[in-house]
């Protein structure tokens, strides 16, 4: 498929699915919130746990927010393990134990006290000369490791960007915060949509290679940035919108390639 036809093909799928995103997707938990200060914290927590079965992710997140309330910023700013650990006692999820979630809240609390918000941490780390947000993502990850996780499984929630992980869930979080449409919340409008990077998992990796978008074999952050650059050929201002299209290719059998 040549470049022109491939761009047309991806645009057709994007237009079909941008209004039809599953209401079961964990991002819809965030649409219950009205305050951007709450959304950005809840969004990070939801994205960190966005692996595995959707129904199990939603069950965990609904249980969490039912306990701590939806004034997530206030809870996190005043978080104390001694006072609040009772909320997390049975919140196990696959690789992650309650201690991992407690450590995540500790680190977000530290960011709030140091920078004021998660957004300010990112904004203060992005340079106009940066081609993308990966340098800021690296600092973001380091700040969320200031309090070392007690278990190795904490590293699964917040990966080390220096290890060249594709950082799928952190990039998904940035998509939610920066883009704005029926699905993404657009809380961080100060950041250009052209700066964020495609969230890459094994499905996106496989489909991107099959479509001839990219030849790189390693599914890492370099793959994600190179794929994003390739998608800028079709939309220079909003390349990550094609996440919807690539996710549905191979799932929706009405679209063969």
* Tens digits of residue pLDDT in 113-125: 999 999 999 999 9
User: What is the maximum alpha-carbon separation in the chain?
Assistant: 60
What is the per-residue pLDDT for 250?
63
* Tens digits of residue pLDDT in 190-232: 999 999 999 999 999 999 999 999 999 999 999 999 999 999 9
Residues of the chain scoring pLDDT < 70: 20-23, 250-257
DSSP string, 31-55: TT---HHHHHHHHHHHHHT--S-HH
What is the per-residue pLDDT for 43?
98
The DSSP code for 129 is T
Burial 97-110 (b: 16+ CB within 10 A, else e): bebbbbbbbbbbbe
Q: Are 251 and 40 in contact (CB under 8 A)?
A: no
Coil, helix or strand for 244? Answer: helix
What is the per-residue pLDDT for 22?
59
What is the per-residue pLDDT for 254?
46
pTM, whole model, 2 decimals? Answer: 0.94
Token reading at 151: 């278990």
CA dihedral 111, 132, 198, 37 (to 10 degrees): 30
What is the per-residue pLDDT for 257?
40
Token reading at 165: 């992980």
What is the per-residue pLDDT for 252?
55
The ranges assigned to domains in the chain are 3-248
Q: Are 255 and 248 in contact (CB under 8 A)?
A: yes
């Amino acid at each position: 498929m040549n470049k022109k036809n491939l761009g047309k093909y991806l645009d057709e799928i994007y237009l079909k699915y941008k209004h039809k995103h599953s209401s079961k997707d964990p991002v819809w938990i965030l649409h219950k919130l009205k305050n951007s200060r709450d959304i950005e914290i809840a969004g990070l927590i939801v994205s960190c746990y966005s692996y595995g079965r959707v129904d199990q992710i939603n069950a965990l997140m609904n249980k969490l927010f039912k306990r701590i309330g939806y004034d997530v910023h206030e809870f996190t700013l005043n978080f104390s393990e001694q006072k609040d650990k009772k909320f997390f006692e049975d919140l196990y999820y696959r690789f992650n134990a309650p201690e991992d979630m407690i450590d995540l809240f500790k680190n977000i609390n530290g960011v709030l006290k140091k920078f004021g918000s998660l957004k300010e941490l990112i904004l203060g780390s992005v340079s106009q000369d940066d081609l993308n947000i990966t340098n800021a993502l690296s600092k973001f990850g380091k700040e969320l490791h200031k309090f070392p996780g007690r278990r190795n499984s904490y590293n699964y929630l917040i990966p080390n960007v220096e290890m060249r992980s594709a950082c799928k869930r952190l990039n998904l979080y940035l998509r939610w915060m920066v883009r704005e449409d029926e699905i993404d919340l657009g809380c961080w409008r100060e950041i250009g949509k052209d700066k964020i990077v495609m969230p890459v998992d094994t499905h996106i990796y496989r489909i991107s290679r099959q479509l001839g978008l990219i030849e790189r074999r390693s599914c890492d952050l370099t793959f994600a940035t190179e794929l994003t650059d390739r998608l800028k050929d079709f939309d220079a201002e909003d390349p990550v919108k094609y996440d919807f299209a690539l996710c549905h290719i191979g799932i929706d059998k009405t679209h063969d390639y």
